[in-house]
Structure 1
Amino acid sequence: MVVIAGKAVLITGGNRGIGRALVEEALRRDASRVYLGTRAPVEHPDGRVTPLALGVTDREQIRRAVDAVESLDVLINNAGIALYDDLSDRRVIEQHLAVNLFGTYDVTQAFLPLLIRSGGAVVNNLSVNAFAPFPVIPAYSASKAALFNLTQSLRALLTEHGVSVHAVLTGPVDTDMSRDADSRGSVQLTV
């Protein structure tokens, strides 16, 4: 279990969907500071929230975000993409890997010194699609499977540094990202 009360928490992709809900839950659980990481900073009415420009594929933004964070107890890697595809376009697969796998890896590595200092935790928001591919988003599913393996490897490697690593395997969630998909895996097109 990851304790939030009194802790500094960074949430990537915190501007909408699951990320926004995570920000609100961290505040409800009395986090002392919530760093809200998004590609472009957004305003938040709670004084405990510090918006950060943090696109997970932008190494310069990652570096600046690290410089802006004084201390960190919990890193929640939530940013991600899910594009409809049929595995016919390698660029779509690469885009999923860039955000969902390498973006999470780069953010984790960048903030690792702060997490080691605090004996903190990494929480990677994955998906049940890591185990059971969703037919209309196979590149997403492949990237989440790779991220699950990365998460398991980080768990084993970082424990000796006092950092715990957790995987959250969400199922279907009613967000902007999943708005056009129904539970059977078909896509409803609106014309």
Structure 2
Amino acid sequence: MDDCALSFWIYTGVMSVFVGSTLKKFLTSHVSSMPSLVAWLGATLLVERLCTLCMPAVLALAVLCAICWLYSSWDGPPYTLPVEEKAVFITGCDTGFGHATAKQLDAMGFEVFATVLDLEGEGAKQLRGTCSQRLTLLQVDITQTQQVQQALLCTKAKLGMKGLWALVNNAGVCVNFGDAELSLMSNYRGCMEVNFFGTLSVTKTFLPLLRQSKGRIITISSPSGEQPFPCLASYGASKAALNLLINTLRHELEPWGVKVSTILPSAFKTGQSSNTEYWEKQHQLLLQSLSPGLLEEYGEEYVLETKELFQNYAQAANEDLSPVVKTIVEALLSPRPRVRYYAGPGVGLLYFIHSYLPLTLSDRFLQRLFLKKKVIPRALRKENGLGLLNHSSNNNNNNNNNTPQRE
């Protein structure tokens, strides 16, 4: 075998392993956005250029990329399940994703059971005024077992023999901003209590109905549960625990015919995220709770900048919740719902970078995307002989999209 033929087969083998493994991971992750596809092609071509150029292999690679494009873009026939006789239970419908989804599903003809924290609140009043008689409002704090059980009894009484088609776990809370060391223990416990234990309680309570109907569970999670977003330790940890729970349920419920999906949205303006008084209250509470020593080492200006950054992110977040609502509808009516859905602009690219680029580059991208901090802790400034950096003029340049959510 001459040197040219040997080089060709070595090149073909290396490229087959690289492209095959990358393609498998890419397709199973359901990343279908154009930026992600372009990034994948760019990475493949970069490796290709490092190998020996050979025209037949280049043509074969082009064909493979074309097949990948067509396959990843094809979602199968445009067939959806009928809406008739389908009932859906949704948590956290006072505002945000739950509120918008309850309205949309009711308009489509679903029988909707929507939980709210306050039956006399503005969100509940809007649902009463805009939705049909099919929608049932239930006052439920998902951290209160008795209220969850009462919601189950009310749902079963109204459904009769019809059965519950789906549970949409939407209720969640994010009350934290700041470094993990500065975050209050009450924030960690609060996020876990709602996002993990509350969702677990609702899911366990309604599982018998879902197993009986061979229905489905749809859970709104967050990329911060899988990637280390700075200053979101308490929220991210609770979502990480939730993700593992849902994935475990997916395996365990497969023999029962229950489909389990997770939706990972990008940044949207929901709940208290645009409330200036809310951010100021959280900031003052944090300052009052920190020990004098810890506050001295970090500095009030460091904490203030973090608050301002989060507030800017919230103001810049997307107000159009339709990408998430459409994704929930797809997961409800698709004959073969996906395990994971990415909802909203940029989140597919975020996951691609996290999955395929070196960790150092992925971490740097995440930090620059989410937190462009200019102020360093006071103790480090003294140690390095640095003066206080002017951060107020830089905060206006932050175009970050991630924002804490109150679903």
Give the TM-score normalised by structure 2: 0.43
Structure 1 residue 134: Cα displacement: 3.0
The aligned counterpart of 1:50 is 136
- Counterpart CA distance in 1 for 2:80 and 2:168 is 11
The size of the alignment, in residue pairs, is 187
Deviations 1:74-112 (A, max 9, x none): 100000001123334222111101100111110000001
Q: For the structure 1 residues 121 and 59, does the alpha-carbon distance in structure 2 shift closer, same or farther, using more than 3 Å as the test?
A: same
Question: Which secondary structure does the structure 2 equivalent of 1:132 belong to?
Answer: coil
From 32, 39, 43, the equivalent of 2:117 is: 39
Counterparts of residues 59-138 of structure 1 (less than 5 Å): 59-70=145-156, 71-85=163-177, 86-87=179-180, 88-138=183-233
> Is the CA contact 2:94–2:117 (under 8 Å) kept in the aligned structure 1?
no
Structure 1 residue 150: Cα displacement: 0.7
> Is the CA contact 2:224–2:232 (under 8 Å) kept in the aligned structure 1?
no
- Counterpart CA distance in 2 for 1:105 and 1:181 is 32
- Matching residue's letter, 2:117: R
Structure 1 residue 170: Cα displacement: 0.8
- Matching residue's letter, 1:38: V
- Counterpart CA distance in 1 for 2:248 and 2:118 is 31
Q: Does 1:166 align with 2:252?
A: no
Greater strand share, structure number: 1
Question: Which secondary structure does the structure 1 equivalent of 2:265 belong to?
Answer: coil
> Is the CA contact 1:136–1:185 (under 8 Å) kept in the aligned structure 2?
no
Gaps of 5+ in 2: 1-78, 157-162, 275-310, 317-368, 374-394, 396-407
Structure 1 residue 53: Cα displacement: 1.4
Counterparts of residues 18-29 of structure 1 (less than 5 Å): 18-29=97-108
> Is the CA contact 2:94–2:118 (under 8 Å) kept in the aligned structure 1?
no
From 94, 111, 115, the equivalent of 1:15 is: 94
Q: For the structure 1 residues 144 and 68, does the alpha-carbon distance in structure 2 shift closer, same or farther, using more than 3 Å as the test?
A: same
From 120, 135, 144, the equivalent of 2:239 is: 144
Larger of the two Rg values belongs to structure: 2
- Counterpart CA distance in 2 for 1:4 and 1:178 is 36
Structure 1 residue 2: Cα displacement: 8.3
Question: Which secondary structure does the structure 2 equivalent of 1:176 belong to?
Answer: coil
- Counterpart CA distance in 1 for 2:102 and 2:251 is 27
- Matching residue's letter, 2:91: T
Give the TM-score normalised by structure 1: 0.89
- Counterpart CA distance in 1 for 2:95 and 2:82 is 20
The aligned counterpart of 2:343 is none
Greater helix share, structure number: 2
Question: Which secondary structure does the structure 2 equivalent of 1:13 belong to?
Answer: coil
Greater shift in the superposed pair: 61-70 or 78-87: 78-87
From 73, 77, 83, the equivalent of 1:5 is: 83
- Matching residue's letter, 2:147: Q
Structure 1 residue 3: Cα displacement: 4.8
From 146, 151, 157, the equivalent of 2:252 is: 157
**Percent sequence identity over matched residues?**
32
- Counterpart CA distance in 2 for 1:10 and 1:122 is 10
The aligned counterpart of 1:30 is 109
Question: Which secondary structure does the structure 1 equivalent of 2:203 belong to?
Answer: helix
Question: Which secondary structure does the structure 1 equivalent of 2:136 belong to?
Answer: strand
- Matching residue's letter, 2:200: Y
Q: For the structure 1 residues 4 and 26, does the alpha-carbon distance in structure 2 shift closer, same or farther, using more than 3 Å as the test?
A: farther
Please give the root-mean-square deviation of Cα atoms over the aligned residues, in Å. 2.2
Q: For the structure 1 residues 23 and 133, does the alpha-carbon distance in structure 2 shift closer, same or farther, using more than 3 Å as the test?
A: farther
> Is the CA contact 1:4–1:30 (under 8 Å) kept in the aligned structure 2?
no
- Counterpart CA distance in 1 for 2:186 and 2:220 is 23
- Matching residue's letter, 2:259: S
